[in-house]
Structure 1
Amino acid sequence: MQKVTSADGTSIAYDRLGEGPAVVLVCGGSVDRMSNAPLAALLAQSYTVYNYDRRGRGDSGDAEVYAIEREFEDLDAIFAAAGGSAHLYGTSSGAALALLATAAGRPVNKLALWEPPYFLEGAEGRPVADTASIYRGFVAEGRRDKAAEYFMAEVVGMPAEFVAQAKASPWWPAQEAIAHTLAYDATVMGDYSIPVEAIKSIKQPARVLTGGVAWPWMSDSNKAVAELLQDGSHVVLAEQQHNVDPAVLAPALKEFWA
């Protein structure tokens, strides 16, 4: 593990693996860099992989006030460590962050997005518009467990029996520990609608990847994102769910970045 310092003084931790062209991995919500560790190990066979902890989670520091721009600056620090530019991969809400960072002018060579969770207008299951305030409220009240439970049940849409089992699992305390970062991802997602103008501004080659058994709303919105990109493509990975198998994803990313 190594660390860089972001523009606001926050320490950002990352693992550096492999040799070759630089690749930066962005994790999604309710997880830290360990969620991308298996993928990082596979990509390290061909690339120098920078797998970092987003602020507020894992071994990275945090600041009192959150803003999406601070996460852009965190990426700036990682890109600097990577030599100035890199391919960028993001998963779920981390894909949305990677997309917005690219649109904001970060030095991305090629952009790969795994199932950014946007909703088309009128799609069923769309979260309420301001989930960030809900998470912040729970955390401020000292109810981190309720924030994590709300994420699983109301935003992800997991069944009640799964949530109950999760709360009894050994890994549940880790969910509570980073529950404050759920508001960060919710801020990135906004009202969960597609950020049309930001996507249209991206000039780099970009690929949206979707699982073959994705939720219908996810498949529809991912196709729409790809169509809005100036140099975009959409690839479906057969039989894959949102928790994609790294052994299936890694070859698809290598093919695109090559």
Structure 2
Amino acid sequence: MHIVKSKDGTKIAYEKIGNGPAVILVAPAVADHTDAVLLAERLSMYFTVYNYDRRGRGKSTDSTTYAVEREVEDIEAIIQEAGGKVHLFGSSSGAVLALEATSKLGNKVNKLFLFEPPFIINDGRVPVSADYVQHLNKLILAEKRSDAVEYFMTEAIGIPAEYLEPMKADPSWEFMKSMAHKLAYDGLVMSDTQSGKPLPTDRWNVDIPTLVMTGENSEPFLHDGARAIADLLQYGEHRILSGQDHSVVMMAPDVMSTVIKEFFIQK
């Protein structure tokens, strides 16, 4: 993997594959670049793809204190490596980070693709607790990594508690435990956008073409949030991806790459 230094000295690791316009893939919670390897391979037929480990994950290092602004600077550092102008794709909480980066980096982003930003803007789903990040940090400090993943799954994802035991038997649970100490980062990225209140009208300044997409089979609250952010953005558009759900990046990379390609290439 390649390494670029962010503004604060943090080393950000990334894979670079393909040729063509630059695309950066921004990972969601409990994920590193490996989750999007197949998607990156499909996209590399049309783009130069930068698939990176967010700070504190995979081969990237971390700083002693966290701020969302530092993650924006990480993306900016990769943009500079890519020639100063890119398309951004983010899924789930990674979509919200991509949105934040686009808002702050202005004309360094050509187009923005958001897949299922997990906003909770009404009573369509139980909101995330106001002390969510604080409770996660307490669990991590107490070395209760599995409990932290459980809390993330039930509180942020909304998975019923009775589904957790079978999930723990899957090897992916150990991987999520290894990244549990970064769950609070995504909680801070989401900020108060999972409170059940309407999205703030003045938080994001994005004036480029932005596609917000949800899977047809995804929960209604994800569709509500996607429509809301698309309506707020100057050139936002919401579309539904037939037959898919929140897992499409990993489970159907061919489908996901096709719609990404069409959006980023179209005039």
Whether these two folds match at TM > 0.5 is yes
Give, in angstroms, the shift of residue 161 of structure 1. Answer: 4.0
1:104 counterpart SS class: helix
Equivalent-residue separation in structure 2 for 1:195 and 1:92 (angstroms): 18
Whichever residue aligns with residue 30 of structure 2, its letter is S
Alignment of 1:1-258 (within 5 A): 1-106=1-106, 107-193=108-194, 194-199=199-204, 201-244=205-248, 245-258=252-265
CA distance in 1 between partners of 2:214 and 2:236 (Å): 14
Query: C-alpha displacement at 1:226, in angstroms?
Result: 0.7
CA distance in 2, matches of 1:130, 1:91: 24
Q: Would you say the 8 A contact 1:126–1:192 is kept in 2?
A: no
Whole-angstrom CA distance in 2 between matches of 1:34 and 1:247:
16
Describe the superposition over 1:158-204 as per-residue Cα deviations: whole angstroms up to 9, x where unpaired.
233432122222232221111011000000001224343233x2111
Structure 2 residue runs without a partner (length 5+): none
Moved more, 169-178 or 147-156: 169-178
Aligned length: 257
Structure 1 letter corresponding to 2:257:
A
Q: Is the 8 A contact 1:226 1:233 kept in 2?
A: yes
Deviations 1:36-84 (A, max 9, x none): 1111111001000000000111111011110001101101111011111
Q: Name whichever of 173-182 and 14-23 sits farther off.
A: 173-182
CA RMSD of aligned residues (A): 1.3
Question: Could you say what secondary structure the match of 1:198 adopts?
Answer: coil
TM-score, normalised with respect to structure 2: 0.93
Tell me, what secondary structure is at the counterpart of 2:203? helix
Bigger drift between 44-53 and 215-224 goes to 215-224
Contact 1:130 1:191 in 2 (8 A): no
Deviations 1:125-155 (A, max 9, x none): 2211232111111001111111111111222
- 1:108: Cα distance to partner? 0.7
Counterpart residue identity of residue 120, structure 1 = I
Structure 1, gaps ≥5 residues long: none
Q: Report the AA paired with residue 213 of structure 2.
A: L
